[in-house]
Amino acid sequence: MAELVWISIDESPVEVEPGTTVAAAILQSDTAGFRRSVTGEWRGPVCGMGICFECRVAINGQPHRRSCQAYCESGMVVRTK
């Protein structure tokens, strides 16, 4: 098996298999609400294919990244809100 990848999600370290998307990693850490909507509701991933933009998080300080379209890379810093 390939080496595990370590990333940080909301300041907690999480280890995942290579090829795991950031969305899947966040769901592994038992977080369902990825972000707040424009009126403050919790939202999580829906389409899983980069269309709906519901799974947006900040990755390495960049806001509005679609977590379902990004693979985890070692040392990545992910922030949900």
Partner 1 sequence: MTGPEYEVVIVGAGPAGISAACVVAETGRDALLIDDNPSPGGQIWREQERHGSNWEAAHWLRRLQLYRVEVLRGATVIDGDPDKHAIVCETANSVSTIRYKKLILATGSRELFLPFPGWTLPNVMGAGGLQALVKAGMPISGKRVVIAGSGPLLLAVGAYLKKQGAHVLAIAEQASWARLARFGLGLPTQPYKLAEAVQLKRALFRVPYHAGAWVEAALGETVLERVRLSLSHRRWEAPCDYLAVGFGLVPNIELAATLGCKLSAGCVQVDPMQQTSASDILSAGETTGIGGVELSLMEGRIAGYSAIGDRLNAQWLFSDRERMRRFARRMQKAFALREELRHLPLEGTLVCRCEDVSYQRIAPMPGWRAAKLHTRCGMGPCQGRVCGPAAEFLFGWHCQSTRAPVFPARIDSLIGHKEE
Partner 2 sequence: MSEPVYDVVIAGAGIVGAACAYACSREGLKVAVLERDFIGGGATAAGMGHVVVMDDSEAQFALTRYSQQLWQELASELPADCEYVRTGTLWVAADEEELIEVRRKHQFYSQRKVPSEILDSRSLDAAEPQLRTGLAGALFVKEDAVVYPPCVARYLLERSRDLGARVLLGKEVIRLDDEGAAFEDGTMMKGAVMVNAAGARAASLHPDLPIVPRKGHLLITERYPAFVHHQLIELGYLKSAHKSTADSVAFNVQPRKTGQLLIGSSRQYGMDSPEVDRSILSRMLARAGQYIPSLPGLSALRVWTGLRAATPDNLPLIGRCPGYRHVFAAAGHEGLGITTSLATARLLIDQLMSRAPAISSEPYSVQRNIAVHG
Structure token digits, residue 36: 């707040």
For partner 1, which is the closer residue by CB, 21 or 78?
21
Nearest to 55 by CA among 44, 47, 64: 44
d(CA 62, CA 12): 18
Q: Which residues bind partner 1 (CB under 8 A)?
A: 16-17, 19-21, 23-25, 27-28, 32-34, 37-39, 41-54, 56, 64, 68-69, 71
Q: Does 41 bind partner 2 (CB under 8 A)?
A: no
d(CA 3, CA 51): 30
Q: Does 50 bind partner 2 (CB under 8 A)?
A: no
Interface positions with partner 2 (CB under 8 A): 38, 63-64
